[in-house]
Amino acid sequence: MKWKTRVTELLGCEYPILQGAMSRLGNWKFAASVSEAGACGCLTAAISLTPEKLREDIRRCREATSKPFEVNLTVGMCPDIDEMLDVCLEEGVEVIETSAFTADSYGRRIKEAGRKWIHKTATVKHALHAEKQGADAVILVGLEGAGIKNISQLPTMTTIAWAARQIKVPIIAAGGIGDAHTFLAALALGAEGVMMGTAFLATKEGPISQHHKEKMVRAVPDDPQLRNVVMPGSGTEDYRETMEKGVAPAIDRDDYDTESQSMSFAVAYVDRIPTIKEVIEGITRPRLPRSPIQPCQPIGSGIQGLSPLPHRQTRIRRSNVTYGCVVLHYLFIAEIVPTQQVQEAAAIAGGRLQPTKGTGNVLIVGPAGH
């Protein structure tokens, strides 16, 4: 299946999936592996420590892959960030991602150099600001994601759906995304791509210890200790303290060590240690479970189309679905992607999409034998 969104067009990658910067884990080798698999790898400048080492890492990444990758500059945490940006521009990096805090001055330099600027933030308010400053796309991270939290941060689902009503540039969803269901849900909410960290770390190529990967396989999102890592504290002061320190409160290091700071609620979907390619194929070419709905039992009859999003290309006014809840996901995807892509998505689920002549209605039919 060929995926085409404004994110794939912007980045030049095969799939609308980006690798998260992941603090000091996003090295050039890992970024190249993700890009080679068809997603967009991310080289984190902070891991290079110096501008000259970053220059070397960019060149190594280019030697390892001919496919596109981006470089992340984390404002307030990346050492020598002005010089790091100089290196990115001198080395011809086409896509530069800024994150954490306001990056207006860096964004202007990126745009003036004719490069593509993506800004990552935790709130719709700051995403709107980045859009006004000229960002080509915004990454919005919900509470379910790893990393430092913002005191105004909301869950991923609410954040993306709310942002899609206001933001015109492509939205990339992040936070707790790690399988086909959460990927498709993000698209249905209005995103045109996703960013994943945990799902990529828990792979054979992931730059963490085998011990930690196995720990991720065993982890469950409702573990109290994991919740303290992903969502440290429940009050405003707790979140403010976390933002200032850049780390979660002290926890049992026997169970959750330094590597665990990169773990998100996406561990819910980690049940083995695959390759990066297997992760991407499992998301973009999923073998979804059969529907519990009886064959040809109509559900969702008379569902009204969602209010139009700025980037919508296809709108379904009314639909009958005879396959079940699984294909219902694809019904909503039809709201934000071209009809041809919806047909391909329906085919993944083993069904077919049939426009009803003269009415604009759409019928999604389940697979033979269902």
Question: What is the rounded (10 degree) CA torsion for 265, 193, 15, 49?
Answer: -70
62 and 178 in a single domain? The answer is yes
Instruction: Tell whether 178 is covered by a domain.
Output: yes
279 and 366 in a single domain? The answer is no
**Domain termination site, one of 223, 258, 284:** 284
Is pTM, for the whole model, over 0.85? no
Instruction: Tell whether 243 is covered by a domain.
Output: no
Q: Mean pLDDT for the chain?
A: 78
pLDDT of residue 285: 83
Instruction: Tell whether 299 is covered by a domain.
Output: yes
**Domain termination site, one of 234, 257, 284:** 284
Residue 311 has pLDDT above 90, yes or no: no
- What angle, 0 to 180 degrees and rounded to 10, lies between the N-to-C axes of helices 28-36 and 51-64? 30
pLDDT of residue 224: 83
pLDDT of residue 187: 96
* Tokens describing residue 156: 């991923």
* Tokens describing residue 86: 């100089």
343 and 277 in a single domain? The answer is no
What is the per-residue burial (b if ≥16 Cβ within 10 Å, else e) of 266-282?
bbbbbeeebebbebbbb
20 and 69 in a single domain? The answer is yes
Residue 362 has pLDDT above 80, yes or no: no
**Domain termination site, one of 226, 256, 284:** 284
* Tally of structural domains, the chain: 2
89 and 205 in a single domain? The answer is yes
Instruction: Tell whether 233 is covered by a domain.
Output: no
CATH number at residue 142: 3.20.20.70
pLDDT tens-digit profile of 82-140? 999 999 999 999 999 999 889 999 999 999 999 999 999 999 999 999 999 999 999 99
Helix (H) or strand (E) holding 125: helix 124-132
Provide the pairing of β-strand 362-365 with 41-44.
Answer: unpaired
3-state helix, strand, coil in the chain (%, to 5): 40, 15, 45
As a whole number of angstroms, the distance between CA 122 and CA 238 comes to 17
For residue 163, give the nearest of 137, 198, 182, 196 by alpha carbon: 137
Considering only 187-191, 241-245, 354-358, which range has the smallest mean pLDDT? 354-358
Could you tell me the pLDDT band of residue 361, with boundaries at 50, 70 and 90? very low
169 and 127 in a single domain? The answer is yes
357 and 277 in a single domain? The answer is no
As a whole number of angstroms, the distance between CA 19 and CA 28 comes to 12
Instruction: Tell whether 240 is covered by a domain.
Output: no
Cross-strand bridge partners of residue 69: 41
pLDDT tens-digit profile of 174-224? 999 999 999 999 999 999 999 999 999 999 999 999 999 999 999 888 888
- Of 358 and 273, more confident: 273
Instruction: Tell whether 346 is covered by a domain.
Output: yes
Domain that holds residue 370: 288-370
